[in-house]
Structure 1
Amino acid sequence: MNITDSQKWLILACLALSIWLLMMLSPILSPFLTAILLAYMGDPIVDKLETWKLSRTQGVIVTFLALTAMFTLVGLLLVPALVEQIDQLVKLVPMLITYVKTTVIPMIEVRFGLELAQLDWLQLSQQLNWGATGDVAKKLIGNLTQSSFAVIGFVGNLVLIPVVWFYLLRDWDDLIAKIGSLIPRYYYKTSSDIAGQCHETLGAFFRGQLMVMLALAVIYSVGLMLMGLDLGLLIGLLA
């Protein structure tokens, strides 16, 4: 079956409209997209558990609890340490500005014969020196609590993502089968083959990238902290 030019333009228009709708609805769709990504990443684990004679629901419960516990543990361990190191970084900003003003800029001017524009370093230091991270956190929390809608939205997303994630993970295979049933039979085999190849490639890419990121974060953070660098954890995670 050949697709006419008018049909191609119609498909492009529908695609453009879909992208525009996704952009406009992104604040509402973000928790659902996050849950879809988590379900997509967790489905292979559930499938593996099913080969161990567990039911789909049992595999989902085990996967959900294990991943939730892992995320919670990582958050409890990393967040306090990261807040402390960000606090140290913020306190180092005035020292860095002083070093740039008194050492780096004169060295560049002498070496290259340039005359760099003079900045108001005092004002810049005051703007960048936000104070301790705790003060920043208090200001953010204060601004957040001033808007009841923001608080409701934050709490709603916090509750909605795990719920949607759980049910998507449980019904993932059924959803894929339902989507497949919507495809016209003429295109089903080709679409199924392409989707299968995309699934294998993207799944392997995401899992590989996450494993590499985790390994590098651990290696960099542990190595820098063993060397005695104060901001070793922060730099390692950012790297």
Structure 2
Amino acid sequence: MYENKADMQRYKRVQWQRLALLVVVMAACWLCFRLFSSILLPFVVAAGLAYFLDPLVERLDDLGISRPYGTLLVLLAFGVAVLLFILLLYPVIAAQASSFISNIPTYIQTVQADFASLMRNLQHRLPYQLRTKLQDLASNQADTLVTYAGKAASNIIGSGFAVVNVLTLLIVTPVVTFYFLRDWPSIIRHVDSWLPRPYEGLIRAQAVEINKILSAWIRGQAICCLALAAIYAIGLTVIGLDLGLIVGLTAGILSFIPYVGTLLGGITAMLLALSQNQGWHGVIAVLIVFAVGQGLNDYIIQPRFLGDRVGLSAVWVIFALFAGGAAFGFLGIMLAVPVTATLGVLTRFWLRRYLLSPLYLDAPPE
């Protein structure tokens, strides 16, 4: 134990100082996110890209290519790959979007005819009083629904331009990513030098665990989303669905939220199939495409590229993404998984400490 009372008082004072420092750092981080969330997006994207591409730069560094030149080569290769992907898909996406816009009046007429037919069938089967109440409810709420839809669309468009400034992302993000990648080892060394010496080994061990979970989830989830995007886009295009490529790619990309991308893409594709007069055969074909894609993802793709390396359950990922979006918008969505992985590792660490502590093991006094 302690040699004297002064040593014990000093130890308690240091403990309180560390606790106060931790509280101040967390409060400062929270305040910065609240104040600067509108301008932090390019820097967060740059940090995520640097984290994702750092292993490639490390490989080039091991091969004898210096860090600045390796960073430049990796960023150029990544930019060329993204540009080629956009150029290859742009003609098809533009053609599908043009066809959809030109056929919007036809789709509206088809939906109106189907809805009118459905209402006629219901009128013959429902009692007169219930039919009258439904007609009154539809007539009274129609204007409200149209007004709400218009406000929602304007809010989505306005917030989209406010949150995601495309010009800023295209200009600032590559520059910041280059400096992050070039100075990544130096950043890690500086952060490591700030760790409290008595606990540096313990903190490093938890950081390694967080890095293992986070890297496995990000890289594995990226592969799963790309595979699902390819499966959905090809499948919907093969069955002849207009905008099948766009819907399939969007559903695959949104699959980083478990099952949300599949559900939204499936519902959108079924509505498009009905509006394009494909009938129930088109709906069944859409269901088969998404069922095959989800089955391949659940039983082949995810076990192969994610497996048991990730300590993040689907429930916590969905909760974290929605909570991050509610708190900080798009920036919160991007930071949700790293924060959840960190909290998960720390929670498991403290739970292990608790299960070995006298608080859990010692019997109560008589």
2:236 corresponds to which of 220, 224, 227: 224
- For 2:294, the equivalent position in structure 1 comes to none
Quick check: 1:221–1:236 contact (8 Å CA) kept in 2? yes
Tell me the TM-score normalised to structure 2 length: 0.51
**Percent identity (aligned):** 32
Instruction: Say which one has the larger Rg.
Output: 2
Q: Does 1:32 align with 2:62?
A: no
Quick check: 1:46–1:56 contact (8 Å CA) kept in 2? yes
Q: Does 1:20 align with 2:40?
A: no
Structure 1 counterpart SS, 2:41? helix
Q: CA deviation digits over 1:158-195, x for unaligned, max 9?
A: 21111111111111111111111111212211111111
Structure 2 counterpart SS, 1:118? helix
- For 2:199, the equivalent position in structure 1 comes to 187
Kindly state the Cα deviation for residue 196 of structure 1 after the two structures are TM-superposed.
Answer: 1.0
C-alpha distance in 1 between matches for 2:201 and 2:249: 43
Tell me the TM-score normalised to structure 1 length: 0.75
C-alpha distance in 1 between matches for 2:216 and 2:202: 21
Aligned residues between the structures: 219
- Report 1:158-169 matches (<5 A): 158-169=170-181
Q: CA deviation digits over 1:97-121, x for unaligned, max 9?
A: 5156314455566667654331576
Kindly state the Cα deviation for residue 58 of structure 1 after the two structures are TM-superposed.
Answer: 2.6
- Report 1:37-48 matches (<5 A): 37-48=48-59
Kindly state the Cα deviation for residue 31 of structure 1 after the two structures are TM-superposed.
Answer: 0.9
1:71 corresponds to which of 79, 82, 94: 82
Structure 1 counterpart SS, 2:241? coil
Q: Which has the higher contact order (CA 8 A, sep 6+)?
A: 1
Change over 3 Å in CA distance of 1:43–1:105 after alignment to 2: farther
Q: Which moved more, 1:119-128 or 1:8-17?
A: 119-128
Kindly state the Cα deviation for residue 63 of structure 1 after the two structures are TM-superposed.
Answer: 0.8
Q: Does 1:212 align with 2:224?
A: yes
2:57 aligned partner, one-letter code: V
- For 2:115, the equivalent position in structure 1 comes to 101
- For 1:61, the equivalent position in structure 2 comes to 72
- For 2:153, the equivalent position in structure 1 comes to none
Structure 1 counterpart SS, 2:65? coil
Kindly state the Cα deviation for residue 51 of structure 1 after the two structures are TM-superposed.
Answer: 2.8
Quick check: 1:94–1:125 contact (8 Å CA) kept in 2? no
- For 1:235, the equivalent position in structure 2 comes to 247
1:211 aligned partner, one-letter code: I
Kindly state the Cα deviation for residue 227 of structure 1 after the two structures are TM-superposed.
Answer: 2.2
Kindly state the Cα deviation for residue 40 of structure 1 after the two structures are TM-superposed.
Answer: 0.6
C-alpha distance in 2 between matches for 1:99 and 1:201: 52
Structure 2 counterpart SS, 1:229? coil
Quick check: 2:42–2:168 contact (8 Å CA) kept in 1? no
Q: Does 1:174 align with 2:194?
A: no
C-alpha distance in 2 between matches for 1:107 and 1:9: 69
> Unaligned regions of 5+ residues in structure 1, if any?
130-139, 145-149
C-alpha distance in 2 between matches for 1:37 and 1:195: 16
Change over 3 Å in CA distance of 1:96–1:182 after alignment to 2: farther
- For 1:133, the equivalent position in structure 2 comes to none
Kindly state the Cα deviation for residue 202 of structure 1 after the two structures are TM-superposed.
Answer: 0.2
2:86 aligned partner, one-letter code: G
C-alpha distance in 2 between matches for 1:109 and 1:20: 58
- For 2:333, the equivalent position in structure 1 comes to none
Alpha-carbon RMSD: 3.5
Q: CA deviation digits over 1:33-84, x for unaligned, max 9?
A: 1111110100011112223332222321221111011122222333454354
Kindly state the Cα deviation for residue 237 of structure 1 after the two structures are TM-superposed.
Answer: 1.2
Structure 2 counterpart SS, 1:27? coil
Quick check: 1:218–1:236 contact (8 Å CA) kept in 2? yes
> Unaligned regions of 5+ residues in structure 2, if any?
1-10, 151-156, 252-366
2:53 aligned partner, one-letter code: G
C-alpha distance in 1 between matches for 2:125 and 2:30: 52
Quick check: 1:222–1:233 contact (8 Å CA) kept in 2? yes
Kindly state the Cα deviation for residue 89 of structure 1 after the two structures are TM-superposed.
Answer: 4.7
